[in-house]
Each structure stands twice: as structure tokens, then as C-alpha cells.
Structure 1
Amino acid sequence: MSERNLEQLFIKRSQQKKKTSPLNYKERLFVLSDEKISYYDYDPEKGKKKSLKGSIELEKIKCVETVIPEDNSPPERLFPFQIIYDEGPLYVFSKSDDIRKLWIRKIRHVVRFNKDLMQKYHPRFWEDGVWRCCQQAVKQAMGCQVLETRNGGFANKSHRKSRKPLPPTPEEEKPSRPLPPQPPQPPPQQGPCPGSTVIAEYSYPPMAPQDLELRKDEEYTILEMSDANWWKARDKYGKEGYIPANYVTEATSGLEKFDWYCKNMNRSQAEHLMKTENKDGGFLVRDSSKAGKYTVSVFSKAGGETVGMCKHYNICTTSQGQFYLAQSHNFSSIPDLINYHQHNSAGLVSRLKHFVSNRVESAPSPFGLGYGVWEIDPTHLTFIKELGCGQFGVVKYGKWQGQHDVAIKMIKEGSMSEDDFIEEAKVMMKLRHQNLVQLYGVCTTQRPIYIVTEFLSNGCLLTYLRETLKGPTPIHLLEMCKDVTEGMAYLESQQFIHRDLAARNCLVAANGDIKVTDFGLSRYVLDDEYTSSAGTKFPVRWSPPEVLLYCKFSSKSDIWAYGVLMWEIYTLGKMPYERLNNSEIVDKVSTGLRLYRPQLANERVYSIMSTCWREKAEERPTFEELASNVQDLLYEMQ
């Protein structure tokens, strides 16, 4: 039995299961032990606790902080505090500030070694579907106020592996001056390392002499990883060479070898693939939008209908670590679970009859045209058709060495500061993310110069929204937004500013993935109409007040543009401020005008857009925060 540390009667606020759930407040006996915080029903007449009503494991606690009381709070609810853990905040009301301080101090002490301790928190309550402090409409949204002491007063050390009690720390012993900061601990090694074995998820034909051929599902030994994107490897025959890092995986989940597992597939892509196959009982297993979780997607023609339906089931785990879809059927592994449901529907819309996969067709674009390829020989390029005409000139679809699809921008002379761009392109070549259009190389030995990039068959996102996309679901639209946030969060992490983020500067892959393109290119435009906010070509409709008034670009101006891009997605490609000209937009946006809520966007989606349009740049979220908010909302919708 764990030693009890504290017991106290508190008022507990109910946890809202739905936005419209009424609040209620009940007195509970809280018990803090070495393992958990438990709360019980209580009999005041007998002075005894009754049945257990709930508990929180200490290792799951991320933050303990006070909460600003509600307006016109009754006396018994003047001293609230919050215990934040995996499922959200637990609100507790103390009878006095002294008791509240004691519990906060004690809980902070015993959880100070926890991982994932928070740096920000919400000082006001979550109520009626919004945070009262910052009006964010996603319950898992990052806090809006920095904790005064790092980690909320928790010690900044690596988390403990054991919860055995530590020797007590005398509270009266206080150092006369602060201790020097601890040197940062190196992050734990993630993913493969030299000497480890990886599995090829896709076949890869060599593009350059020093490349090594990859054969799907075969094993390779990593020899060298000095380049993050091209690893030197050895195959089982002893042959060595460079391989694209995004074509292999360390078999961490053990699912990679199963054809029914589609590692990088979202809900909309799964539905499209299963509807295309049109087989009753078609299924696949994919990564859930929540990291570390998996979803089984099933296609059914119930009752012999010609038009089927898709159902999605999250794979759940028991407290003992077993997996299940139907709660009475638990399995020690996901393959065992799939094997069972291939023979028994057991509550699913259909048993799992036919696996559906696009693993062969959905190979990602390699990071370049072979290891070390930078300057591309123009004689190796074949031009096939014109795709369009952009700011810098004509863009064409073509082939490299007669077999690899590429897009080729032919830069018209006088449109770009070429020398500056060529120098910068060497940096841009190193920007690698699945939601960024990959720059393969340049042709600079002749004029006009060429920029050679990854080719995406579905073209420009703006045109796709207006002409191709039919009857999108809310989840599909949000998945598009998620793709853009993740690409932009990567650019933000590399201190790279796009400066011209809009639907016209995003492209759509064959599988529906959205990728951001032309990042940073606006810096090299030699057109006063485009580079001056007074010019008619300047992207006024996507620009925040600080850009319109002072031409002050930053990652926060990209955030504003992202909010407008979300609006474009949810209006299926409408022109922002469609009834206003540029000068009217500058005047009205600078004095508070914002875009209206699109019909396809619910209040929570519009709330995310609105956070991007805050007047003060420093009050706008980061792309990392936006990506987290979008992903959390997407997970809730699924």
C-alpha cells in the first residue's frame, strides 16, 4: 500500500464531455499518494470516504497551477487550481489559499521528474467550448501564458524510471543564491543509426553512379549518415552506395512488413483508395492522426448496395497493453487482432476480407536526383508540356534522363536577381519535408536558367479547389490545412520565411497531399509592382497590417497568410475580400476588418483562422502551435 501524503475535502468541477454539457460541482475527498491522486465520494455524517470516483496517475501530470476565479464566484469557489494531465485539466476548488498552495507545492515536488512538463498554461477556465483567457476553441491548444518558473516550478531534470520515494528535501534549507543552470542533456537518439538495419518501404532505381538500388521489403545496413537525406548503406549481397533516407524505415512498430499497413495515409486518402477498389470488406491499417495510435479503415457494401461506405475504427489498448476494436476481444499484437477480424466481424461493419494498399504507387519523392546532384545538365531534360506561366516565366512538365518526372521553371531574364538566388538555392536544396515541394537542382550554365523541382500531378491547389475538388468532407479540408501547417512548421524551425504563402503557391500530389512551393522566391523578384506594397501585383489580400504599412516580413506575417489560405480552402478557392480593391483592403484591414467565416468552416475551425489574424504579430501563434491545434481537432473529428 502506498504511503498517503495528503488528504483533503475539495470541490471538484465536472469534466465537460460535450460543449453543451452543464457544469456541476461536487465535494470529493482527494487523496495524494506516491503513485496517484484519487478522489472519492464522501459521507460527511460518518466522516468516511465511500466509493472511488476517479484517479490520475502522477506520471501523467504535466502541470499544476492556480486558475483565475470565475466572475461572481461564491465563497467556496474562490481558490481554484488545475491539475493538467493527458486528458486535459481537472479543476479543483480549495477552501483557502494556504491549502491550495500546500497541494500545488506538494504535487509539483512529486512530479518534478515527469517528461513532457508544460512551459505554458491557460490561466482561465475551459468553458462552453473555448478557453476564457485566449478564446482558443481547441481544448488541447497550447497555453497562452508562460509559467513564471520553468516547468511550473518543477525541477529541470530527466524523468525518473522509478517512482520510489526520494529522500525528503527540507523546505527550510534554501540556497542563498541560485544554482548555475544545468548543461542541456542531449536528446535521445531517434531512428536508425550507423550499424543498424533498415527495411526498404519502396523500390528505388539508382539515379546517380554512387547510388545503391533499393528493393522493396529487403533489409539494408546503414554505414554512414553524414548527409541527413542520403545515407550510405550496404545490401545483403555486399554492394554499397547511397540511398534516399525517406525510402527506408526502422521496423519500430513491426507492422511495416504487412501489406495491409499504410504508414503515411490520412483518412481522406484511405476512403478514396477503398472506394476506387470498390470491394466489400476492403480494409487497411493506417497511422492515426494522434501519434503512436493506429486506425483500421473498412469499406462495406452492406445489404448488397452498389455504393459502399467507409468506417474507421481506432485500435484501443487495455491497461494491460492488449489491443482491441471490440472490447470483449483483446489481443497481444495488432497482427493478431487483424487476423481475428479477417474471420470475424465482431462488431465491425464487415469482417476484413481484402487488404487494400498503395504502398508501391505512393513512393515519396527522393530528396534530389541522386546523391550529390546539384547542377543539372540541361541536355538530360526533356520538355513535354507547358503547365503554366508564373512570376518568373514558363513552367513545364518534363523528364530527367528520360524517366523521372520533374517540373522545370524557365526563368525569364530580368525577372530575378539570379546570382543571389543561385547562392540561396544551395541552402534551399537542403530543406527537406514531405509537405514542401522538393528542389532537385538548377541549370545555370546557360540562359535562361532552369529551376528543376519535384512534379506534382494534380497541379496548383487554387485550381484544384475551384475545378477538381467535388463535395469535400470537413475532415478532407482540415487534412489539407494540416499538410500546409506541417510544411510551414518545418520552414519556421529552419528560420525560413515564405513571404508569399497562398493557395496558388501550394501544389497537390497524386495521392492528395498538399505541398508548399516557391518559399522564399519573392525576395529575388525584380519587379517594383510585386515587391512594393503599393504595387498592384503585391499579395495585399494575404498580408497583415505590419507588411501593408511597413513591409515588415516575419514568420508571423506567414501565419497571417496561412489564415487566409485556410479561408481559401474552406471557400473552395474564393478570392479574399472579393469586393474590395487593394487600397480599400489596406485601409480596412489596418483598422480591424477580417474575413468572414466560410460556410464550410465550423466555429472551431474559424477560431483557428482568427488567431492568425490578431493585429499584434507577437500575439499570433507559431506554426508549431497551429499544427498541434489542427491535429488535435482532426483527431476529435475522426
Structure 2
Amino acid sequence: MSSTAILEETLIKRSQQKKRTSPLNYKERVFVLTKTRLSYYEGRPEKKFRKGCIELQRVKCVEIVKNGGVVIPCQNKYPFQVVYDSTTLYIFAPSNESRTVWVQNLKEEIRNNPHIVAKFHPQFWQEGGWLCCGQADKLAPGCEEYNLFGDITRKPLPPIPGDESKSRRPPPPPPPEQGAPGAQEAEPQEEVVIALYDFEGAESQDLTVRRGEEYVIVEKCDVNWYKARNKYGKEGYIPSNYVTPKQPDNLEQFVWYCKNVNRNKAEEQLRNEGKEGGFMVRDSSSAGAYTVSLFTKSVGDGVIRHYHIKETAGSPKQFYLAEKHLFNTIPALIEYHKHNAAGLVSRLRYPVNKQNREAPTTAGFSYDKWEINPSELTFMKELGSGQFGVVRLGKWRALHKVAIKAVREGAMSEEDFIEEAKVMMSLSHPKLVQLYGVCTQQKPIYLVTEFMELGCLLNYIRQRRGTFSPQNLLSICHDISQGMQYLEENHFIHRDLAARNCLVNDSHVVKVSDFGMARYVIDDQYTSSSGAKFPVKWSPPEVFNFCKYSSKSDVWSFGVLMWEVFTEGKMPFEKNLNHEVVNMVTQGYRLYRPKMATPQIYEIMQLCWQERPEERPSFAQISLKITDEIEADGLNS
């Protein structure tokens, strides 16, 4: 190399993603910083396998990237950015200390550059927009003031070791005198969590967890997996959705709390249990509010009453139910009403919580395990055939039931898919079908997913036609809207949302499946709007005219899916060919209101079918509207 290296370290580089529809690509590279350039190499630098080089005089900004909740699909979780010409290079460091050193040194080398930006984007460019400000032009000016001599917190960076004289940054303030405020920093408290479910560690690196026991969080490796320590001092990885913080006001640690259970499902669970005084506490339609749902046999064949947990005005707030017996906490209120009806139709005798008995899926079988050894799979009966090949019921290590999709050769762009498999695995939500891992070391490759016992939603509703109430159908739509809201919040586009691509488990929970898979299909008929297989009848104008996908194109498809559900499985535009549908939709024609859909429900569908994408609601808004419809009967008080 022509200059002495200032820094050299193996970091991870994200590709420039030249096509909006192409998957992101993360590659390990050896980065070398000299006085004049930033270079990155594949393998050892002395081998001269240089993959890229940036002249420092072209750099306009160097800064850390605020993550903003985005899932980072590589082992390095500390991103920073180098902005030069019209390009933003994202680099991921293995630790905050490493990132700080790189940002600090790069800023020092570019500080005399003539074209330093006044403002920059503190978050990622992803899926066609800046996450920080929502601007859809990649070259749009930044939204936050850029400080060349510090990081985005405005705190000065520490001086470069051995080079303090060159720095223009002001010296740090003197330490506070002994006894002055801030002289002693409080020691960080350990985060203690309580296990909600049993977890049997699949790998030697895992920690077995027992419901109700306490654990100390050692490290939050990513959003789905924590490193924890048990009471015996043993450490290992645990799924984050199996534990909850130990805090007095955290309801998740109590058996009677049912998160994300709506009114219809609460009534279904309480009636199925059929026990006098059966109850649950669930989220109300108003954010931050809670409802007690209570079953009693004292009236007819049994009735269910729903009671808002009310709060007093002023501070400190207190809680009460039907009569004004005030309590400082909700758990104290529930404990009182276990022994005293006090205005309710019954005492709270028996907590009903189906979720408490059914552990959720995990993002992969263990932390950072996405490649599955095919010898660990047992193949059982064939479940059907999809776009990519045959799907079979199977077991992983003879323990976990899974669905195994064998990808037919030539059916998908395998190399592109494998690059993004880690991203798709990290998406984990109770209303998404979980991808557990892939087998890529042989042909055909396998996709290993959660097994959904009752199969495809389209067949499920067609086979049970006439047995659903409008409330049942609305609950199905609510499940799907929650899964899609999670995808939207994680900036992930489905591209082929329809009843055929949702699955139902044996608890009648509906989950979104095959999200993001449409982009890997190798089938001219499927990807062309002129072919019979292309999902034109679920697509908005900007997709069948310009192939422009976004979360708002998924919203349109969700409206069509709602129509499928409320017609109990009819084919949209069943009498029309695809090219006719394109003309009809372009001219403003929309699907009719199904008989089982109220005007209010049909209004939600129509909102999804607004011609301009920006006029369509978000999935968060849709989910809230559906929740309001479910709770529309009001609450007893």
C-alpha cells in the first residue's frame, strides 16, 4: 500500500442495492484507512484482492447511523456511514468502541475537505425512502444538522491517541469535584426478567429456561435473542419473546394477562373454557388502556361481560372497575376482585389464558443458527405443492413439527434468496409464519418453516362456508392486519398478499406466509401482468402499470383479501380476465360490498383501494379501525 495504515480491521459492508427490488447484501471486508483513502479488501490486504477504494477528498460526511429499530441481519450491529459523491456506504462495526474509533479517525482526515455537508440523514436509506424523514429521493438533502467535530449526540468525540495537538475540538470539561452532583456514577443495575414459557435449549450455546423463574440479561444480541444468566450462574442464549422484564407495573408476568387478544377471541376462549368466573385482562382498543373480560353461568347459558379498567384523574393515578374501590396498581385491583365481586357479575375466580400454554415460535432454533443440517430433518406426509415445489410435513431432530419446502430447480433465484434468508428469519411475530432456517448445502434447497395444521386460509374459509359469523371473519382480518403492521414497521414488503398466502394453525390463529418471496420467483407468467398467474386481481394500478411495490401496494392487496374473507372464499373479479380487470380498476371500478360485510367494514376495504398510494391508510391505522369495529358493541360498566 502507498501510505501507512491509520486503521485496519475486518468490518461488514452493505451493498449499494442498485435495484430497489434486489435483496440487501452484507459481506465481510478488510477495511484499511490511510491519510488519502479508505480501501476495502476481500481476504488479506497483502494479497491485493482490493474490492473498492474511496479517495478521502471526495468524502462529504462520516457519522454513526441511528438504527431506529431496523433488523440488522449480520453479526456486526454498530453501523456508520461514509457519504461521498452521490453515494452512501454503510459499514457495520463489531462494537460501539470500534465504530467510535473509525468515525473519529475518518472525521479527522476529512475535516479540511471543501464539500462537507451542512445536513445529513441520521438513519438508513431503505426500501425506497429515508427512514429518518420519509423522503423518497435518495439524493434528497439531509434532515439533521451535521457536526464534523462530534457525533450526532453533539458530545465531542475523544481525542485521537497520540494526536491531541491536531484536534480543533474543545477540551472535555473538568471532572466534578468530590461530593458535587454527578461525582459518582450509579452502578448500572442488572436487568432481571421473568420467563413466560419453558424453553429447551436446542444447542450447547443455549440456556434452558423454566416458566416463572428469574434470569439476568447479560447481553441483548439482537431483537430476537438475549444472552442470559440463571440463578446458578450458567449463561446462554434465550429467545427474547419467552421472557418479560420484572417490573411491578408489567402485566405480562401475570397469568391472567392476554396480550393482543381482541374482544371476539376473548369471548371465544372464555366460552370454550366454560368455567364460572373465568376471566382475562386484555388490551383495550384505546392505547394504554385495559379491559377485564369475565364469564358467568348465572345468566341463561352463560354470558360474558367486558369491564374497562378506569383511572382516576390527577397524580398519582389509581385504578378501579365497576364500583369505586381504588387501587394503586392493576395487579392489586385484580387480587381484590378475586375475593370480592364488588359490582361485577362474579368474582374473578379462574384466569383463562390460552397463550400462556402455547409457547410462541422463535426466530430460528437458536441464536445465529439459520443453516439447518438436512440430516436433522425427518420427512413425513406431503402437504401440497406451491410456487417453488412440494411442501411436506416433517420434524427437526424428531422433536419440532415443521413444514419443509423443497425448492424445485429453476423455480426461484436461489442465490438472491439465500442472501436475504437471515433477514426473513429475523422477522418474528405471532401473526407471521416463522421461517426457522434453510438447507442450502445440497440440491434441492429446503426452506424450513413453522407448521400450520389447518392449512391455507382460502381453503379453510371455503371448506367452512356458512359456519362463520361476521365477528369471526373480522377476527381473521385482524390477525392478518397485525402481521402486516409488523412487516410495515420493519420496512418489509410482502408483494403477494392474498388468502392463498395466509395459513391457519390448530388454534384458528391466522398468520401471514411467504412474505417477500414473490421477488424470487423465476416465472415469466407470474412476473408479467399479461400472464394468467400474475396476481393482477390483488394488485393496485402502480403495480400492474409500473411494477412499483411498497407497503401501500400491500394495503391494496389487503383490501382484496378482506373481500375474499367476507365472501368466504370467492374469486375477486371472477367473471373477468386479467386485462379486463386492469382496465376496470384503472377506470375506477372496485369490488362490490360482500353481504356479510357491514358498511363500516366495506369502508375499510374502500380506503385500501384509493387510487393514489399516499391516500391509503397504513396497516397501523387499518388494525386500529378493525379493533374499533370488533369493540363496537361497547363495554359494560
Match of 1:312 among 281, 306, 331: 306
For 1:375, the equivalent position in structure 2 comes to: 371
CA shift for structure 1 position 432: 2.5
1-structure distance, mates of 2:549, 2:502: 20
Residue 242 of structure 2 corresponds to which residue in structure 1? Answer: 247
2:410 corresponding residue in structure 1: 414
State how far apart, in whole Å, the 1-side matches of 2:202 and 2:339 are: 44
Which amino acid counterpart does residue 200 of structure 2 have in structure 1?
P
Cα shift at 1:369: 0.8
Counterpart CA distance in 1 for 2:309 and 2:569 is 36
The alpha-carbon distance between structure 1 residues 627 and 261, as it changes in their structure 2 partners (threshold 3 A), is closer
Map of 1:445 onto structure 2: 441
Question: Which one-letter code corresponds to 2:431 in the other structure?
Answer: N
Question: Percent identity, aligned pairs only?
Answer: 55
2-structure distance, mates of 1:290, 1:468: 33
How many residues align? The count is 455
Structure 1: 5+ residue stretches without partners: 1-145, 147-155, 157-177, 187-192
User: In the alignment, what sits opposite 1:428?
Assistant: 424
2:606 alignment partner in structure 1: 610
Residues 255, 599 of structure 1: alpha-carbon distance in 2 compared, 3 angstrom cutoff: same
1:599 aligned residue: 595
SS at match of 2:231: coil
**Whole-angstrom distance in 2 between the partners of 1:359 and 1:546:** 40
**Alignment pair present for 1:559 and 2:546:** no
Quick one: distance in 2 between partners of 1:388 and 1:220?
A: 42
Distance (whole Å) between structure 2 residues aligned to residue 366 and residue 289 of structure 1: 27
Q: Where does residue 523 of structure 1 map in the other structure? A: 519
1:401 pairs with one of 397, 421, 425: 397
Match of 2:505 in 1: 509
Give 1:479 shift.
Answer: 3.3
Task: Quote how far apart the aligned CAs of 1:377 are.
Answer: 0.7
Shift of 1:286: 2.2
AA partner of residue 388 (structure 2) = F
SS at match of 2:459: helix
Aligned counterpart for 1:231 among listed residues 226, 233, 251: 226
CA distance in 2, matches of 1:185, 1:478: 45
- Residues 267, 304 of structure 2: 8 Å contact kept: yes
Partner amino acid, structure 2, of 1:234: R
1:103-139 superposed Cα distances (whole Å, 9 cap, x missing partner): xxxxxxxxxxxxxxxxxxxxxxxxxxxxxxxxxxxxx
* CA deviation profile, 1:575-594 (whole Å, cap 9, x unmatched): 11122222321221121110
How far apart are the structure 2 equivalents of 1:542 and 1:529?
16
Question: Structure 1 residues 550 and 336, CA, compared in 2 at 3 Å: closer, same or farther?
Answer: closer
- The match for 1:110 is none
* 2:207 alignment partner, one of 209, 212, 218: 212
Q: Which residue pairs with 1:200 in the alignment?
A: 195
The question of 1:341 aligning with 2:323 is answered no
Structure 2 length as normaliser, TM-score? 0.66
> Out of 277, 280, 283, which is 2:276 matched to?
280
Number of the residue aligned with 1:462: 458
Aligned residue number for residue 536 of structure 1: 532
Q: Matched residue of 2:432: which SS? A: coil
For the 8 Å contact 2:146–2:152, the answer to whether it is kept is no
Question: Counterpart of 2:455 in 1: which secondary structure?
Answer: coil
Gap runs ≥5 in structure 2: 1-132, 134-142, 155-187
Shift of 1:364: 0.6
CA pair 550-332 structure 1, distance change in 2 beyond 3 A: closer
CA contact (8 A) 1:194 1:222 kept: no
**Secondary structure, in 3 states, of the residue corresponding to 1:342?**
helix
Structure 2 CA distance for aligned equivalents of residues 328 and 617 of structure 1: 48
The answer to whether the Cα contact below 8 Å between 1:362 and 1:511 also exists between their aligned partners in 2 is no
What is the CA distance between 1:268 and its match in structure 2? 2.9
Helix, strand or coil for the counterpart of 1:302? coil
Residue 374 of structure 1: how far off its partner (Å): 1.2
Q: 1:455 to 1:185 in 2, by over 3 A?
A: farther
Deviations 1:458-506 (CA, angstroms, capped at 9, x unpaired): 3222222222476444444333323322322332333322111111111
1:390 to 386, 389, 394: 386
Counterpart contact for 2:262–2:627, Cα < 8 Å: no
Inter-CA distance 631–522: structure 2 relative to 1 (3 Å threshold): same
Q: CA distance change for structure 1 residues 524 and 257 in 2, over 3 Å: closer, same or farther?
A: closer
Alignment of 1:128-277 (within 5 A): 195-252=190-247, 253-277=249-273
CA separation in 2, counterparts of 1:469 and 1:297?
29
Q: Which stretch shifts more, 228-237 or 416-425?
A: 416-425
Determine if contact 2:262/2:630 at 8 Å carries over to the other structure: no
TM-score relative to the length of structure 1? 0.66
Residue-by-residue CA offset, 1:557-584 (whole Å, 9 max, x unaligned):
2121111111122222221112222232
Which of 285, 292, 303 is 1:289 aligned to?
A: 285
CA contact 2:312–2:319 (8 Å) conserved in 1: yes
Q: Distance in 1 between matches of 2:438 and 2:261?
A: 31
Q: Aligned-pair distance for 1:400?
A: 0.5
CA distance in 2, matches of 1:254, 1:624: 23
Looking at structure 2, the residues matched to 618 and 258 of structure 1 have their Cα atoms a distance apart, in angstroms, of: 41
**Secondary structure of the equivalent of 2:494?**
coil
Please give the secondary structure, in 1, of the residue aligned with 2:304. Answer: strand
Distance 1:208 1:469 in 2: 44
Instruction: Output the aligned Cα RMSD.
Output: 2.9
The amino acid that maps onto 1:396 is: R
Kindly state the Cα deviation for residue 222 of structure 1 after the two structures are TM-superposed. 0.3
Q: Structure 2: which amino acid aligns with 1:313? A: Y
